[in-house]
Amino acid sequence: MSSDRLFYLPLGGAGEIGMNCYVYGYGPRDQERLIVVDLGVTFPDMDTTPGVDLILPDITWLEERRDRIDGVFITHAHEDHVGAVGHLWSRLQAPIFARAFTANIARRKLDEHGVPENEVVLCNAWPEQITAGPFQVGFVPVAHSIPETSALVIDTPGGRLLHTGDFKLDRSPVVGEPWDPDVFKAIGQSGVKALICDSTNVFSPEAGRSEAAIGLAIEELVQGHAGMVVATTFASNIARVKTLAEAGIRAGRSVCLLGRAMRRMVEAGVQSAVLTDFPKTVTAEDAADIPAENLMLIVTGSQGERRAASAQLSRGKYLGLQMGEGDLFLFSSKTIPGNERGVISIMNAFSEMGVDVVDDTGGKYHVSGHANRPDLQMVHKLVSPQMVIPMHGEHRHLREHVKLAEGGGFAGVLAPNGTVVELQGNAPRIAEYVETSRTYYDGNAYVGAFDGVIRDRIRMALNGHVTVTVIIDEEGDVLGDPWCELMGLPERGSSNAALVDVLEEDLGQFLGRADDKTIRDSDKLDEALRRIARKTTQTELGKKAEVTVVVSRLA
Amino acid sequence: MSSDRLFYLPLGGAGEIGMNCYVYGYGPRDQERLIVVDLGVTFPDMDTTPGVDLILPDITWLEERRDRIDGVFITHAHEDHVGAVGHLWSRLQAPIFARAFTANIARRKLDEHGVPENEVVLCNAWPEQITAGPFQVGFVPVAHSIPETSALVIDTPGGRLLHTGDFKLDRSPVVGEPWDPDVFKAIGQSGVKALICDSTNVFSPEAGRSEAAIGLAIEELVQGHAGMVVATTFASNIARVKTLAEAGIRAGRSVCLLGRAMRRMVEAGVQSAVLTDFPKTVTAEDAADIPAENLMLIVTGSQGERRAASAQLSRGKYLGLQMGEGDLFLFSSKTIPGNERGVISIMNAFSEMGVDVVDDTGGKYHVSGHANRPDLQMVHKLVSPQMVIPMHGEHRHLREHVKLAEGGGFAGVLAPNGTVVELQGNAPRIAEYVETSRTYYDGNAYVGAFDGVIRDRIRMALNGHVTVTVIIDEEGDVLGDPWCELMGLPERGSSNAALVDVLEEDLGQFLGRADDKTIRDSDKLDEALRRIARKTTQTELGKKAEVTVVVSRLA
């Protein structure tokens, strides 16, 4: 027994917001049985991952140990916790455990990849527990911004762990279960070795507010507006969607949900019985015949996504619906850092249409789904664990959360992705670091973050591209002139001659002078031609273009 | 006289924050004499302008009328007001008018382009006025975040205009002239036809605070920290740089300025006598020998710019200086929307070093340089113009500012870039729209926004690139096999064969089947090869790559 170890290993989510993937291990060293908590995704951006569709955790470490995995536990149905199950299940082939609503969403994702739905095992809420190898796992209902979110009690022979998942201290979350401090206290009273705890809002100084607090403000806003009212929020925030819909109905309007993701979420809520009294809605087709002043649309695209309903409406008619002068658009959501440009561009497009835009700047129409700084302190105290391990946050959030825990008298440990933290002693011990990375889902291919593919795309975006072709004849002599094609480069540079001509001239001069040995050596010739093309673009344009060289040798 | 018209035409800055460039005209239609107010730049981003270095207003309209331009007036030395003078002067060749500090900066920019410094005419402050054609222009000192910022009184035979430039109502701006309501009132009392007014902060509901309000908080922060203190702000915000430096000195520290832009600004401040008592600083070389607890650095890169001092320090040793555990980094600046990712990445890099980061979230360490909503209302009333024309702001800011003016009983007009607004009547009249655009400064070339160059770069970044080469022999037959090279694409697609092989196979099959007519028709053959390559990448990768086709025909 003394040789058994209990460890925590984040593969995603610790050092970033999104892409949650955590591993717990218990057993003799290198034979530990494993469970995985969450398999989430994160989203690409043009700066670092142009063209990529989704970013998944690199699960190489897990795949190499897949015979030791006793289960994958999904805390809730947000994309950054469940989004990768469809993509990665076949490489792990371990059973997935989730509560009904989360399972509904997970099964839809698995189905898209041809995985049968019985790979997802439906779980009841705490105090029931599921046995998975040496682990006993219970789903403890917490409030968040999506139904049936759960913290996990993970009982092991090495002690009890409490993995909070995402949560907030909301006693009236509109949809989903309220925060119940007594349950957390009781869990803590049996002795918690480690509290592994959400960190995203550690810099928010005030206690969090309840979802119920904004219903009235939204209702007043809708009531007070004569024209069409359109509101957007995160599709998965069913509570908010319901708050918005009810405000619309009370204001005497017909309500229409626009956007596949939103309709799918509401459908999953009804199917899994977490959503029982959602107001009646009309289809987009019917909505098109309803006068603007009697209509409220609730739409996807709160983050400015180009293809979502918000962006479509900002560009003009969408599914027969069109906004205009005197209408109102409400962002009942926070803009996630990095998405500002897309959101602002939609705001300005609406402004050009004469649509009034209201955002959550004043905090009246949105509340966060995460525990703020004082909320975290309260949870530390309630659970009173031996140690606090901050998870789900950028490095700065994790670091601040460690300080916060230590300030409250708890041992804390800063454990970014790849850190193996042993928990069997009285204090956390960093045992080792494993390599972690990301996998890019690009079109329908999977690309490693270090494969160089995306690096080359970024380089082409910054520097443009030149194709250089040269033909060598049967005697090993250069046939004709080199030929160049440009993409993403100006036609003329500083000499004011056509850039293609300058390139072909410079390359031709080099080939005219080159000795037989250089011409015969393919690698050397390629490299020399590339170097000249880069040098010429540097001289002409002030930047070195990316170059593809094709030397054809006639046999 | 009745046939003369007075107009306002924004070419940049109205419909965006940045790239300010406004035109005023007076005279008979199509023979109006013109003055230009500001020639600014805006900054590129990876999403829309990858690889671009700077974005300039497209001045084609002005260039075509350059014999009618009587002067270019620069309100202040921020890049978005003066940044394009060096790039564009040779196309306009009109005299530049500015006050001493602004002139100092403008001359440095012209000098880089070989333009003699006497093209910049030094101007004194209001009530002096400069005669430029039918215009009498006076520089009215206002407070902003850079010295000698000025509003312009533009007297014309058609009436008096007041162009505010950027400004805030700060009675104690630390450096630069204070806001003086009496001057504005007096200007208004002689009758102002139109107030052309800064709009950037129209959504900020509280009255603006003074630069002097934050000095104490900064001093307390520096005093309270044991390790090295490093602060960043906009290089041009000399008042803030001074506030920071003085706080450092009072805390008994040696102060060092890092970053070329910041040293250049302070130098210009001293040369033009707007900065008279800046504390003594040490060089980076000397700073490296000073213990951390006795040192304060003031550095460039508040917006996360990769090559600026902040980013360099976040990556490790820079000019012999290195931050670490227990040191403090202060963002005494607001993050401009769109720059969040870069700033956050620096914050996390510092977190990994153990450096504490403080930002302006609480508003303690930064104040804006622009007039907020109640400040704008106060200025409308003070000046009491016939009409208010909001400028410098995105569309939503301009629209809101029009509403604000109308709410106060003033005629307002929404005039985004390209709108010719006639002012000679009692109310503004939109006469026509002229085409406006942007010019990209890319490396050392100028590229039009609609040239397709940047579009191609974005496409390569999103879709990758394939080079296809084919050789046709003297008889018009295909010689050998087609050859493909990939850039920015995965090696393998859904078939799991090498993508290059699948491409060459598909292209080879097509060529085997193609009739002589297709092979002989260069355009047709190119297009067919491109189509096949795109289709194959679509099948294999789920995305259509960008394709360069080179068909070499042996003569």
Look up the CATH number of the domain holding residue A346.
Answer: 3.40.50.10710
- Tally the domains of chain A: 3
Q: Is B466 on the interface with A (CB under 8 A)?
A: no
Q: Quote the strand ranges of B333-382, DSSP E.
A: 356-358
pLDDT tens profile A368-385: 999 999 999 999 999 999
DSSP helix/strand/coil, B522: helix
Q: Are residues B200 and B253 both part of a single domain?
A: no
Half-sphere exposure of A243 (CA within 13 A, CB side): 32
Q: Are residues A12 and A61 both part of a single domain?
A: yes
Give me the interface pTM, i.e. the ipTM. Answer: 0.94
Confidence of residue A396 (pLDDT cuts 50, 70, 90): very high
Provide block-wise average pLDDT over 10 residues at a time, chain B (555 residues): 87 97 97 98 95 97 98 97 98 97 96 94 97 98 96 97 97 91 96 98 94 89 93 93 94 95 92 91 95 96 94 96 96 91 95 94 89 98 98 98 98 98 93 97 95 97 98 91 97 94 97 92 96 98 97 90
Q: Is A402 on the interface with B (CB under 8 A)?
A: no
Residue A13 has pLDDT above 80, yes or no: yes
pLDDT confidence of residue A447: 96
Residue A121, H or E segment = strand A120-122
Q: Are residues B40 and B163 both part of a single domain?
A: yes
Residues paired with B553 in a beta bridge: B472
How far apart are the C-alpha atoms of A140 and A153, rounded to whole Å?
A: 7
Residue A464 has φ and ψ, to the nearest 5°, of 75, 180
Closest alpha carbon to A125 in A56, A195, A178, A68: A178
pLDDT tens profile B89-147: 999 999 999 999 999 999 999 999 999 999 999 999 999 999 999 999 999 999 999 99
DSSP helix/strand/coil, B100: helix
Q: Are residues B388 and B444 both part of a single domain?
A: yes
Closest alpha carbon to B447 in A547, A538, A489: A489
Q: Is B497 on the interface with A (CB under 8 A)?
A: no
Residue A244 has pLDDT above 80, yes or no: yes
How far apart are the C-alpha atoms of B540 and B502, rounded to whole Å?
A: 9
How far apart are the C-alpha atoms of A513 and A505, rounded to whole Å?
A: 12
Residue in this structure with the two tokens 């000046």, named with its chain if needed: B383
B contacts of A340 (beta carbons < 8 Å): 337-338, 340
Q: Are residues B437 and B479 both part of a single domain?
A: no
- Range A495-501 average pLDDT: 96
pLDDT confidence of residue A127: 96
Residue B431, H or E segment = strand B429-433
Q: How does strand B4-12 pair with strand B419-422?
A: antiparallel
Q: Is B490 on the interface with A (CB under 8 A)?
A: yes
Residue in this structure with the two tokens 């030397």, named with its chain if needed: A551
pLDDT tens profile A170-226: 999 988 899 999 999 999 999 999 999 999 999 999 999 999 888 889 989 999 899
As to burial, measured by CB atoms within 10 angstroms (0-12 exposed, 13-18 middle, 19+ buried), residue B383 is: buried
pLDDT tens profile A59-91: 999 999 999 999 999 999 999 999 999 999 999
Tokens of A509: 């001069």
- DSSP-assigned letter for residue B124: P
Q: Which of A204, A334, A351 is the mutation pick for testing B, counting most B CBs within 10 A?
A: A351
Contact B46 A340 (CB under 8 A): no
What are the distances in angstroms from CA B385 to CA A545, B190, B403, B420?
53, 10, 15, 19
A contacts of B443 (beta carbons < 8 Å): 541-543
In a domain, B457, yes or no: no
Partner-chain residue, chosen from A340, A354, A554, that has the shortest CB–CB distance to B340: A340
Contact B490 A50 (CB under 8 A): no
CB atoms within 10 A of CB A271: 12
Tokens of A273: 């019985």
How far apart are the C-alpha atoms of B468 and B507, rounded to whole Å?
A: 9
Closest alpha carbon to B214 in B334, B357, B347: B334
Q: How does strand B438-442 pair with strand B54-57?
A: antiparallel
Confidence of residue A150 (pLDDT cuts 50, 70, 90): very high
Q: Are residues A145 and A230 both part of a single domain?
A: no
Q: Is A1 on the interface with B (CB under 8 A)?
A: no
Q: Which of B446, B447, B469 is the mutation pick for testing A, counting most A CBs within 10 A?
A: B469
Partner-chain residue, chosen from A337, A444, A492, that has the shortest CB–CB distance to B341: A337
Residue A1 has pLDDT above 60, yes or no: no
> What sign does the CA torsion over A526, A532, A536, A539 have?
positive
How far apart are the C-alpha atoms of A193 and A201, rounded to whole Å?
A: 23
Closest alpha carbon to A45 in A353, A401, A262, A336: A336
Residue numbers of B between 99 and 128 with CB closer than 8 Å to A: none
Contact B493 A445 (CB under 8 A): yes
CATH at residue B516:
3.10.20.580
Sequence-separated contacts (24+) of A434-438 with Cβ below 8 Å: A434/A9, A434/A61, A435/A61, A436/A11, A436/A12, A436/A57, A436/A58, A436/A61, A437/A58, A437/A60, A438/A12, A438/A19, A438/A42, A438/A55, A438/A56, A438/A57, A438/A58
Phi-psi domain of A297 (left: phi exceeds 0; alpha: psi -120 through 50; beta: other): beta
In a domain, B307, yes or no: yes
In a domain, A454, yes or no: no
pTM for this entry: 0.94
Q: Is A17 on the interface with B (CB under 8 A)?
A: no
Q: What is the largest CA-CA distance in chain B?
A: 88
pLDDT confidence of residue A531: 98
For chain B, the distance separating the N- and C-terminal CA atoms, rounded to the nearest angstrom, is: 71
Q: Is A406 on the interface with B (CB under 8 A)?
A: no
Give the residue numbers spanning the domain of A222.
Answer: 211-358
Partner-chain residue, chosen from B446, B461, B479, that has the shortest CB–CB distance to A460: B461
- Report DSSP letters for B480-507, one per residue: EEEEEEEESS-SB-TT-SBHHHHHHHHH
- Say if residues B470 and B450 touch (Cβ distance below 8 Å): no
Q: Is A220 on the interface with B (CB under 8 A)?
A: no
Q: Are residues A120 and A139 both part of a single domain?
A: yes
- Report DSSP letters for A506-524, one per residue: HHHHHHHH--HHHHH-HHH
Contact A543 B443 (CB under 8 A): yes
Distance, C-alpha B549 to centroid of its chain: 38
- Say if residues B48 and B12 touch (Cβ distance below 8 Å): no
Residue A72, H or E segment = strand A69-73
As to burial, measured by CB atoms within 10 angstroms (0-12 exposed, 13-18 middle, 19+ buried), residue B427 is: exposed
Contact A45 B546 (CB under 8 A): no
Q: Quote the strand ranges of B159-275, DSSP E.
A: 159-163, 194-198, 229-232, 254-258
Q: Is A492 on the interface with B (CB under 8 A)?
A: yes
In a domain, A453, yes or no: no
Partner-chain residue, chosen from A50, A445, A550, that has the shortest CB–CB distance to B467: A550
In a domain, B347, yes or no: yes
pLDDT confidence of residue B176: 87
**Which of B394, B413, B448 finishes a domain?**
B448
- Say if residues B468 and A551 touch (Cβ distance below 8 Å): no
Q: What is the largest CA-CA distance in chain A?
A: 88
Residue in this structure with the two tokens 């607001």, named with its chain if needed: B334
Residue of B nearest to A485 (CA): B548
pLDDT confidence of residue A2: 61
Tokens of A197: 């705890």
Residue A175 has φ and ψ, to the nearest 5°, of -125, 145
How many residues does the structure list for chain B? 555
Cα distance from B519 to chain A (closest Cα, Å)? Answer: 19
Confidence of residue A363 (pLDDT cuts 50, 70, 90): confident
Q: Are residues B352 and B298 both part of a single domain?
A: yes
Angle between helices A340-353 and B395-407 (to 10 degrees): 50
Closest alpha carbon to A238 in A216, A268, A217: A268
Q: How does strand B96-98 pair with strand B120-122?
A: parallel
A contacts of B546 (beta carbons < 8 Å): 487
pLDDT confidence of residue B338: 87
> What sign does the CA torsion over A107, A108, A109, A114 have?
positive
Q: Count chain A–chain B contacts defined by CB atoms under 8 A.
A: 195
Q: Are residues A235 and A354 both part of a single domain?
A: yes
Residues in Cβ contact with A474 at an 8 Å cutoff, skipping those fewer than 6 apart:
A554, A555
pLDDT confidence of residue A512: 94
Contact B541 A462 (CB under 8 A): no
For chain A, the distance separating the N- and C-terminal CA atoms, rounded to the nearest angstrom, is: 71
Q: Is A471 on the interface with B (CB under 8 A)?
A: yes
What are the distances in angstroms from CA B153 to CA A316, A439, B163, B178?
41, 59, 6, 18
**Which of A305, A326, A358 finishes a domain?**
A358
Q: Quote the strand ranges of A237-303, DSSP E.
A: 254-258, 295-299
A contacts of B484 (beta carbons < 8 Å): none
DSSP helix/strand/coil, B357: strand
**Which of B312, B338, B358 finishes a domain?**
B358
Residues in Cβ contact with A377 at an 8 Å cutoff, skipping those fewer than 6 apart:
A404, A408
Residue of B nearest to A352 (CA): B395
In a domain, B319, yes or no: yes
What are the distances in angstroms from CA B528 to CA B34, B532, B549?
53, 6, 10
- Range A232-261 average pLDDT: 94
- Range A35-52 average pLDDT: 96
Residue numbers of A between 58 and 87 with CB closer than 8 Å to B: none
Residues in Cβ contact with A55 at an 8 Å cutoff, skipping those fewer than 6 apart:
A19, A41, A42, A43, A44, A49, A438, A439, A440, A441
* Mean of per-residue pLDDT scores for chain A: 95
In a domain, B459, yes or no: no
pLDDT tens profile B217-259: 998 999 999 999 999 999 999 999 999 999 999 999 999 999 9
Q: Quote the strand ranges of A142-190, DSSP E.
A: 150-156, 159-163
- Say if residues B40 and B81 touch (Cβ distance below 8 Å): yes
Q: Are residues B184 and B260 both part of a single domain?
A: no
Write the secondary structure of B70-95 as one string of H (helix), E (strand) and C (coil): EEEECCCCCHHHHCCHHHHHHHHCCC
Q: Are residues A432 and A470 both part of a single domain?
A: no
Q: Are residues B440 and B473 both part of a single domain?
A: no
Residue in this structure with the two tokens 């900064």, named with its chain if needed: B218
